[in-house]
Amino acid sequence: MRTYAPADPSTVLERLLEEPSLARGVVHHEIIPAREALHADMPAWLDPRIVKGLESRGIERLYTHQLEAIEAVHAGDDVVVVTPTASGKTLCYALPTLQAIAEDASARALFLFPTKALGQDQVTEFGELAASADLSIITSTYDGDTPAPIRSTVRAAGQVVVTNPDMLHSAILPHHTKWFQLFEQLKLIVVDELHTYRGVFGSHVANVLRRLLRICAHYGSRPVIVCCSATIGNPSELAAMLTGRPARLVDRNGAPAGERHVLLVDPPIMEPASGARASAATLAQRWALPFLRAGRQTIVFGRSRVAVEILLTGLREALRESYGPRSRVRGYRGGYLPTERRSIERGLRDGEILGVVSTNALELGVDIGRLDVSVLAGYPGSVAATWQQFGRAGRRQGTSVAILVASGAPVDQYVIHHPEFLLDNTPEEARLDPDNLHVQLAHLRAATFELPFEPGEVFGPAPADELLAFLAEEGHVRQAGDGRWYWSSENFPASEISLRAAAPENVVIIDTTPDRPRVLGEVDLFSAQVLVHERAIYIHESIQYYVDRLEWHERKAYVHKIDVDHYTYANRAVTLKPLEVFAEAPATGGHRKHGEVMVASLVTLFKKLKFVTDENVGWGPIDLPELELQTTAYWLTADSARQHWRRDELDVALLGAGRAIQTIAAVLLMVDPRDLGLVTQVRSPHAEEPTIYLYEAVPGGIGLSERLWQRHEELLSGAADLIAACGCEGGCPACTGPRLEPNVDARRLALRLLAELGAGTRLAAAG
Amino acid sequence: MIDTLAEPGDRLARRLARFRAANPGPGALDDPLPYRRSPSRDLARRLAEAVAGEVVDTGGGVFVRVEAAGSDLPLDRDRLATLPGQPPADRPLVCLDTETTGLATAAGTVAFLIGLGWWAGATYRQIQLLLPDHAEEGVLLDQVARHIPRDAWLVTYNGRGFDWPLLVTRFRLARRAAPDHAGHLDLLPIVRRLFRHRMDDARLGTVERALLGVVRHDDVDGWEIPGRYLGFLRGGPAQPLAAVVRHNDTDVRSLARLLAHLERALGDPVARSSAPRGDLAGLARAFRRERRLDEAVDCLDAALAADASPPASTAVAPARPSVDEPWWSPRRHPDFGGRPDRRLTSSGWDRRQAFARPWDEERIAADRAHLLRRLGRIDEALTAWDALACGPGRTAVLAAIEAAKLREHRIGDAAAALATVERGLTLADRRRARGLPEPALEADLRHRWRRLHSRLVARRADTAIAV
């Protein structure tokens, strides 16, 4: 089929679905009907200059969610706005900011964005809005690139300060006395891309915000917080965990949308025995090409930098052969120059660029206008990210098409075969734990440095005195004659904290590719064992690095850039010992618990696995000392299974069920499967019962295990579903993990165990 | 054994205990003293005893005061005021130096010792205010404010970047306004401009040795100071702080002596002609910054007339050991000496090199030629550049370019300019032959040559046609 003439997306899609080789792979086809705009009038209190400015930009009325949000801020309430991409979220915080400054020119606002690039985009947009309203507002970006002479101007005069959590943490808060004009008059804090603040990073940012609000209180201000988030399962809860304050949820989207087709596509199985599937990239290209030839603006998402280049080359090659619009298809990813990126964004907005192949760099709020078609080569790892990427296609009128092409990975397979998971609007939750001891103590140090603590003053949920007394024993903090706690060390505590890692003792990753080696990042020791051992491929911002040398005692890893088609996976041999049970409850066939555990981990060898196919292409030894990790875990015991199971079968069943539970847990809680470790014990030396442990790979944990404990039943039935729906014979990497013994049916054994533990599967019920 | 039902409070205590067991080392100090909390007054009493000071109880709080005997240190303010950057003669001066718990001017660094000095007639008086406990900071700061009159000029060493911003931070944290003052004379940039050429670094101790003939004995190293004070606060001995007080006393005294030295050595235009030529060249630059160009030229003339032999105090040993360890190494000792100079430490070696460059005759003459041109004394400037263009070095090439510029643009003699450019090219070629190419200068010269040449050719052609 060749479609050269321009055609609208639905026509192209119709023709594609008539093509049997493509249609066969479509697992699910959902048509989301068009939605009318829900408008609301401008509120009467809005400054007439702002109203006029909006009118000059063609905005006569607001969408309902925008009104709801700004009314809440006007009433002094915190808000969390959750609406899809390009639904006019910016106005939800821009209008209250403009209003506050229109009322009082000394008012200040602080905008937090997770990355620099996003911040710069917003500065431009906000500046245009302010200009159209005829308000002269000094909007300044304060980040690592801000030149020193300008910094003092920003401090003294910036009415809207745009920055990121790292700068707030290390440059603004410890120097708050130089920012007193900002903190005294701070009316509004905007936290955009809320959903990115999860896990360790989120736990740190929550503590940075605790510090921020504490400083504001010192200067007598009480700013309203506006959070904006992509669609996630628990926005209110996440906002509350992050800011420590309840927020009003605004999630009824009033923006119009055209009809949208969502297709879930599974590549065909190439080798029935191993369950290996065709490549998602190839199939994604086949789906994208006809739309490009028909002149429809299309975005293709790849999961890594390499994948993007492969997809881009493939698409251009195919278009060249068929004399298609080859030069109008571009790549976009981290590593491109900022000017190049800007020109691509502009090209997409004005339609000059027809197609773009991108990593998740284009998933966040970068403004590229609205496109017709979005093709995802592989599940991006979370429902939220999937909808962000789907959301890139979708005009206010007319049909758009979103296609998810799964890979052979277990999570992809689970998602693609459970369309309701993606489509029934129950995306996963974002978790964080601001009270992780490592994280909290680190920020408590920084907070004491910034301002002494009153006796009984709270930091987070409870008075900080016991923790401060703990720090006092270390010598960094002291209680003075007036009973207050003061910083009493010559260290600069903020510089000892990396917002991306949990424990203070980290391995620094040094990139030796440029002439002047630079620090790429840090990883905690536990992760370092598996991520930056010698000869590992370390991936940072979707760029691959080869680890030349790991100096364990110096805590330094030296890497250089490399471009290869495989990644490395290190095997961790783990023993686990429970330290304290925080909660426990009986469950069918046993018990479920969560608590603190000690994990001893030894890493001895790594495998090289090909991208996409996960084919094993080599291995190597690793020589590193054993590490102990204190963390939290969720575990379940199969008390009844001890009596009537054969020990060897139980072993296989526990591992198989554990793998499936691990996969489901990663899906439900929006984390990388590597963030959750799995240990199974046929006869646990501690519990005496057959046990499956899922422990958090982060020191101290980030609250995942408590949530897993609560969602025990969903985990079990999800795991049973995953295994039951798998098309393999006797277990495969997509369900129960790689087969260890060819003659044992891991699939059957795991399902039997899960049934005994009370997993009610829909498939089992149906059969 | 695992216990399952515990009070959350106990649980935190147990978690902290396990946390400590699992994380020995990284958080804790090397040798934390057993933690002891004592009332401010006890601390103040112990501190006062150790440093031979008195406890002052204001009713609102306590602090410790150390007053030194006044010393005779006459200073001719009128003569001082003639030097660039100096305060007007009628303003009171307050010399100020602080000792702190760290190097960052951020919120958690405390100035625990503030040394102040001022003149009462020809007598230099000094007072030191010490913080006995964090809780007493407000009282201490009130006392500091009382010693700074509104019309006073502060005199510090790197105080613009460090001591003063730090004190402002402390005042703000204590919810007080930082005291107003009329001006701030930071001696560090002045010392660097005038004397850096004959010192290995700009620490105050080095300056004392090189300029004032003072050598400190048993002085405490800067990096030790925070630890001594924090140790005392945690219940350790106060005795080690006696040396810190002595150190600060010397610092504040040196500020005054340094001012007096400036006034005596350089304040009088006639007397200064016997100063080392590098000092004079530096002074010329200081004058130039204030656009006092005539005085700058006079200084350079004096410098060129001065004895070329290096000053006796050149051989000042480096005060800080060379830094072999990279900046991120844990073995690298934090350098608390002489107050951190941001520009020197952060922006690389080139500035350091520029400062260390010796003031030889050629460099002074080049500075002088630049000045003459700015003053409009074109003929003299041209003579100076021409003289320099006879030399063998890189300066000669530069001088040829400058002379060509003057001939072309100020005098309007394109032919002579071309000849000068050609001489410059010859010089550059000679340097290239010696393996010292100057690509940027050569490019400049070639560009100039082409332009001048084509203009002359065109003019000749015009003339020919006219004929």
pLDDT digits (tens, 9 = 90+) for B104-115: 888 999 999 999
A291 touches chain B (CB under 8 A): no
> B238-274, pLDDT tens digit by residue?
999 999 999 999 999 999 999 999 999 898 888 888 8
CA distance A567 to B99: 53
Counting one residue from A and one from B, how many pairs have CB atoms under 8 Å apart? 131
With the C-alpha atoms ordered A282, A287, A290, A296, is the resulting torsion angle positive or negative? Answer: negative
The answer on pLDDT for B25 being more than 70 is: no
> Which residue in A has a C-alpha nearest to residue B32's C-alpha?
A475
Over residues A232-242, mean pLDDT: 91
Cα–Cα dist A397/A416, whole Å: 28
What residues pair up with A595 in beta bridges, in sequence order? Answer: A581, A633
| b/e burial code for range A468-493 (CB count within 10 A of at least 16 → b) | bebbbebbbbbbbbbebbbbbbbbbb
Please say if the pLDDT value at position A215 is more than 60: yes
Report the C-alpha gap between B111 and B102 in whole angstroms: 9
How many Å lie between the alpha carbon of B151 and the closest alpha carbon of chain A? 24
Rounded to 5 degrees, φ, ψ at A368 are: -125, 15
- Residues 6+ away with beta carbon under 8 Å from A132: A53, A54, A56, A57
Contact list, B11 vs chain A (CB under 8 Å): 580, 582
| Range scoring the smallest mean pLDDT among B46-55, B146-155, B403-412 | B403-412
How high is the pLDDT of residue B336? 39
Q: pTM to 2 decimals?
A: 0.82
Model confidence at B467, in pLDDT bands (50, 70, 90)? low
Residue count of chain A, please give it: 767
Query: Nearest Cβ partner of B32 from A473, A493, A579?
Result: A473
Dihedral of the alpha carbons of A318, A322, A326, A329, in degrees to the nearest 10: -50
CB A509 within 8 A of CB A534: no
The confidence score (pLDDT) of residue A644 equals 85
Closest by CA to A28, choosing from A39, A36, A17, is A17
More confident: B10 or A151: A151
Which residue of chain A has the CA closest to B107? A450
Closest CB from B102, B107, B226 relative to A450: B107
pLDDT tens, residue by residue, B286-340: 999 988 988 898 888 888 887 655 544 443 444 444 444 444 444 444 443 433 3
CA nearest neighbour of B362 among B283, B420, B421, B300: B300
d(CA A110, CA A168): 10
Each residue's pLDDT tens digit, B197-217: 887 778 888 889 888 888 888
- Coil vs helix vs strand at A745: coil
Interface of A with B in 502-521 (CB under 8 A): 503-505, 508
Quick one: which of B189, B12, B210, B450 has its CA closest to A466? B12
Which amino acid, one-letter code, is at B81?
A: A
CB contact under 8 A, B101 and A467: no
Residue A62's H or E segment, with its range, is strand A62-63
Interface test with A, best of B131, B139, B230, B335 (most A CBs within 10 A): B230
Q: How far apart are CA A327 and CA A317, in angstroms?
A: 11
Residue B436 has pLDDT above 50, yes or no: yes
| CB interface of A with B, residues 163-182, below 8 Å | 174-178, 180
pLDDT for B359: 79
Q: Is A437 on the interface with B (CB under 8 A)?
A: yes
> H or E stretch including A400?
strand A400-405
Core vs surface per residue A217-233: b (16+ CB within 10 A) or e: ebbebebbbbbbbbbbb
Q: In this model, does residue A387 exceed pLDDT 90?
A: no
Q: Answer whether residue A241 shows pLDDT above 70.
A: yes
The terminus-to-terminus CA distance of chain B in angstroms comes to: 116
Number of Cβ within 10 Å of residue A266's Cβ equals 24
The average pLDDT across A201-211 equals: 95
Q: What is the mean predicted confidence (pLDDT) over A533-552?
A: 85
In chain B, how many H helices and how many E strands?
A: 18, 8
Q: Give me the percent of chain A exceeding a pLDDT of 90.
A: 38
What's the Cα-to-Cα distance from A403 to each of A282, A308, A345, A370, A475, rounded to whole Å?
A: 14, 17, 22, 16, 58
* Chain A residues within 8 A of B1 when measuring between CB atoms: none
Among the partner residues B22, B173, B226, nearest to A630 by beta-carbon distance: B22
Distance from CA of B61 to the nearest CA of A (A): 11
d(CA A699, CA A707): 17
Average pLDDT, chain B: 83
CA distance, residue A224 to nearest chain B CA (Å): 24
pLDDT (average), residues A563-588: 88
Tokens of A76: 């002094």
Q: Which of A192, A746, A134, A199 is nearest to A434 (CA)?
A: A199
Q: pLDDT digit string (tens) for A514-524?
A: 888 888 877 77
| Residue A276 banded pLDDT, cuts 50, 70, 90 | low
Category of A715 on φ-ψ map: left (φ > 0), alpha (ψ -120 to 50) or beta: alpha
Q: Does the structure show a pLDDT above 90 at B50?
A: yes
Residue that has been written with the tokens 């905007």 in this structure: A190
Q: Compute the nearest-CA separation of A437 from chain B (Å).
A: 8
What residues contact B59, with CB distance under 8 A and at least 6 apart? none
Mean pLDDT of chain A: 86
Among candidate residues A627, A422, A415, A407, the one with its CA nearest the CA of residue A528: A627
Give Dmax over CA atoms of chain A in angstroms: 84
Report pLDDT for A145: 78
**What does the alpha-carbon distance between residue B260 and residue B254 come to, in Å, rounded to a whole number?**
9
Residues A697-733: pLDDT tens digits? 888 888 889 999 999 998 998 899 888 877 677 777 7
A19-28, A612-621, B45-54: least confident range:
A612-621
Q: Please indicate if any CB of chain B lies within 8 Å of the CB of A535.
A: no
User: Which residues have a Cβ under 8 Å from the Cβ of A248 and sit 6 or more positions away?
Assistant: A72, A77, A78, A79, A80
In angstroms, the CA B446 to CA A63 distance is 67
CA angle B187, B188, B192 (to 5 degrees): 115
Residue type, B315: A
DSSP character at residue A689: S
Reported as a single tens digit per residue, the pLDDT across A164-190 is: 999 999 999 999 999 999 999 999 999
Token pair belonging to A500 = 């991306």
Question: Do the Cβ atoms of A478 and B135 come within 8 Å?
Answer: no
With CB atoms and an 8 Å threshold, state whether B16 touches A582: no
Dihedral angle sign, alpha carbons of residues A367, A368, A373, A374: negative
Q: Percentage helix, strand, coil, to 5, in chain B?
A: 55, 10, 35
**d(CA A10, nearest CA chain B) in Å:** 59
3-state class (DSSP) for residue A353: coil
Task: Give me A25's structure tokens.
Answer: 């792979």
- SS3 annotation, A512-571: CCCCCCEEEEEEEHHHHHHHCCCCCEEEECCEEEEEEEEECCCCEEEEEECCCCEEEEEE
CB B357 within 8 Å of CB B197: yes
Other C-beta atoms lying within 10 Å of the C-beta of residue B371: 23
Residues of chain B with Cβ-Cβ distance to A472 below 8 Å are 35
Binned at pLDDT 50, 70 and 90, residue B8 comes out as: low
**Is a pLDDT exceeding 80 seen at residue B3?**
no
In this complex, is the C-beta atom of A688 within 8 Å of any C-beta atom belonging to chain B? no
- Residue A300 confidence (pLDDT): 94
- Give the angle subtended at the CA of A488 by the CAs of A487 and A493, to the nearest 5°: 60
Between A84 and A432, the higher pLDDT residue: A432
pLDDT tens for residues A467-506?
A: 999 999 888 899 998 889 999 988 888 888 888 776 667 7
Q: Where are the beta strands (DSSP E) in A94-197?
A: 108-112, 139-141, 160-163, 186-191
